[in-house]
């Protein structure tokens, strides 16, 4: 079961973020994603936020997840001006944990 529906992100949202934050992040996420957690998904999210992803990166989605849409959705979170860095990393980490089984940046 998908915890949060992937938004079909347009060109502008992908490059500049969105002002409709409720459409790209869940209302609540587990608290351990919010506390600079050194866990796998938070580390991946922070690395993606700071360095981006490369063409050689390996992202294996959970069955039924559209990988390209999920990548654009996460990038839209990172490009948003309405969230702090900590909020971006925490929400992206949670969504990555829901949509992917493995990520090697």
Sign of CA dihedral 87, 75, 102, 96: positive
Task: For residue 61, give the DSSP letter.
Answer: E
Q: What is the pTM of this model?
A: 0.91
For residue 58, list its beta bridge partners: 104
pLDDT in tens, 27-70: 999 988 887 777 899 999 999 999 999 889 999 999 999 999 99
pLDDT in tens, 70-81: 999 999 999 999
């Amino acid at each position: 079961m998908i915890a949060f529906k992937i938004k079909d992100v347009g060109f502008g949202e992908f490059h500049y973020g969105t002002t409709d934050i409720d459409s790209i992040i869940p209302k609540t996420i587990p608290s351990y994603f919010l506390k600079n957690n050194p866990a796998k998904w938070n580390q991946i999210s922070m690395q993606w936020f700071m360095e981006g992803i490369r063409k050689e990166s390996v992202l294996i989605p959970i069955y039924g997840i559209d990988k390209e849409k999920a990548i654009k959705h996460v990038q839209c979170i990172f490009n948003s001006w309405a969230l702090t860095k900590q909020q971006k990393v925490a929400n992206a980490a949670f969504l990555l944990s829901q949509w992917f089984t493995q990520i090697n940046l």
